[in-house]
A and B are shown apart, each in its own frame.
Chain A
């Protein structure tokens, strides 16, 4: 038994080392005074200070946040509405649409990037922040739909019927009954959309124009000349944003559950 336990612990530790060692090293080296990524000389905030004075990077960071927030809000709203519609109504070709939804998920990113670019060219849409936002909405919506739909499927039909029965019209039923109950799916869909948008390189690469550089694109161009400590610092900051978003989403979810179970 004891031996088994030991073996299990070693296994778990190796998994975590494998998963998190690279990230850990990146964070450590972002505080390294030496310019080389080989030895750790002493602790410094130098690279973070440098980042703050780098206007190109700040611009790129601003763009990334604007794109992530806008595309998340729009894709969450559209995705939720689509999921509710697909769940509630039966119409001709519903199965076909259901399978169409998954195409942006399974299609190679590079293909999606090229197709979006050709569409933009066709309609003479100027490449910039708007074009990136539209592209991000395109690949985020299927994730939101999938996530919302799983909570909708778990929702009993009786509950909405009870709401109609008690005199609530369709809008009030959605607002007071359906939406609060599918909120976990909406939140996890939104979180997914946000993180996907934050770190997207390929599709942004194709749909970005002059002056609409995003952080991942910036990092990509920076490492062409070798990994410098300021890239480490920048990546650490991005990591921080994603961790904050994921944690707050998890906290919101567990609060909702706790609120219900607190008095049990």
Chain B
């Protein structure tokens, strides 16, 4: 990934009547990047994509693609292509004609077009399906046609709108890997919209978390997972335990965070003062489960025990109102109703803000 900004959104806003769908977003997307817009449904992520393709007009702000201000440019002339959630293939045209459509509209010479279509078909592994009609293809094959139809245009940006959403889980996993490979191979910029956090984490170079028409956090998948900025993100990405603590003691390096009367946790001090009320995040896989008391651990009772082969999911009740989700690898260490001690390494504790936030 190099540092050339390819797509640039400058303070874009979109309103339908009184309703604000996109609220003053600015975002630079680099050449060759796989950027995902991730958020719950209705957060405005698809609308952002549609403003880039030009299918939606902006209320305010500007959009630059490859250095050109395209804010008022017709979608027909924008050098981006979209893979629609529904694939939007032309059902009355063969696979070949579907892929050829854009080239025909751009009046690309026939020899060049034939070569490009052949390359695209090979790339998405659809050889032998050229004469089929879309309704005769499976969901995965239709998806490939849609991708081929987009990449054959050789534009630098491909916009993907919940493209894997309609596929079944196994196919989805396969396509995730293939899509990522394809993107690296072509060196294209992919802007991908999804509400599926797994998809976002596996494929993206960077993720922009969209909530209520704003970007809540823009970072790499690792950082978003490890250091979510808000409780919303922590809750949205992965499984999480979010609860309140109060700082009881501080030293230079550490602070003691009180969970309840019986339990406290040592955390890294970051200019906290005694009496600070904070929200903390503990991921289910950060716990070390012990049968005997160890220092810096939380005591609780196993209330639920689900074994699913790779990991065991526990629900540990610390006190009334605080039940922690805990994932462990060793299925034999405990059983239901056992009293256990959960040790948390202090560097794995994430503070996500003060309690009165939100």
Contacts and interface: CB of A to CB of B under 8 A. Distances in A.
Contact of B90 (A164, A172, A177, A263): A177
B101 A163 contact: yes
B25 to A, nearest CB: 21
From A159, A165, A177, A181, residue with most partner B Cβ within 10 Å: A165
A1 interface: no
B55 A164 contact: yes
A10 to B, nearest CB: 40
A172 to B, nearest CB: 6
A260 B135 CA distance: 7
Contacts of A161: 55, 75, 82, 84, 88
B82 A167 contact: no
Contacts of B90: 159, 162-163, 176-177, 181
A158 interface: yes
Interface residues of B, number: 28
A230 to B, nearest CB: 47
A68 to B, nearest CB: 29
B136 A263 contact: yes
Contacts of B53: 165
Interface in A3-50: none
A166 interface: yes
A44 B88 CA distance: 59
Nearest to B134: A260
From B76, B86, B106, residue with most partner A Cβ within 10 Å: B76
Contacts of B132: 263
A90 interface: no
Interface of A: 156, 158-159, 161-169, 172, 176-177, 180-181, 259-261, 263-264
13 contacts: A161-B84, A162-B89, A163-B90, A163-B101, A165-B53, A165-B75, A165-B80, A167-B77, A167-B106, A168-B105, A169-B76, A177-B90, A263-B132
Given A165-B53, A177-B90, 20 more contacts: A156-B86, A158-B84, A158-B85, A159-B89, A161-B84, A161-B88, A165-B55, A165-B80, A166-B81, A166-B101, A167-B76, A167-B106, A167-B153, A168-B76, A176-B90, A181-B90, A259-B133, A260-B136, A263-B132, A263-B133
